[in-house]
């Protein structure tokens, strides 16, 4: 039979080195991050809608691809929002 690994109580003493406090900018995103995210997602939605509204885009899927790229850019920007 397999033996269980021994569980040891580790006692880690506090470090005597000084750790400076984390700056506030690390926890807060710049104000333009959510704005840029909304603009990217909005451009993506508008681009996809234009594919179905504008008769010149009737035979091409390019506006849909451009819209998806803008929406993915908005999603990527959303991951940077803290």
More confident residue, 17 or 7: 17
pLDDT on residue 53: 94
Residue 70 has pLDDT above 80, yes or no: yes
Q: Kindly list the domain boundaries of the chain, sorted by start residue.
A: 25-78
Q: Average pLDDT, whole number, for the chain? A: 86
Query: 27-69 pLDDT, tens per residue?
Result: 888 899 999 999 999 999 999 999 999 999 889 999 999 999 9
68: Cα separation from own chain's centroid = 15
For 8, other C-beta atoms within 10 Å of its C-beta total 6
User: How would residue 7 be classed by pLDDT, with cut points 50, 70 and 90?
Assistant: low
pLDDT on residue 5: 59
In angstroms, the CA 36 to CA 74 distance is 7
């Amino acid at each position: 039979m397999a033996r269980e690994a021994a569980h040891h109580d580790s006692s880690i003493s506090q470090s005597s080195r000084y750790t400076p406090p984390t700056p506030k900018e690390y926890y807060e995103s710049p104000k333009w991050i959510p704005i840029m995210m909304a603009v990217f997602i909005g451009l993506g939605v508008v681009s996809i809608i234009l594919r179905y509204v504008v008769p010149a885009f009737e035979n091409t899927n390019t506006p849909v691809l451009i819209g998806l790229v803008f929406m993915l850019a908005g999603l990527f920007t959303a991951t940077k929002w803290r």
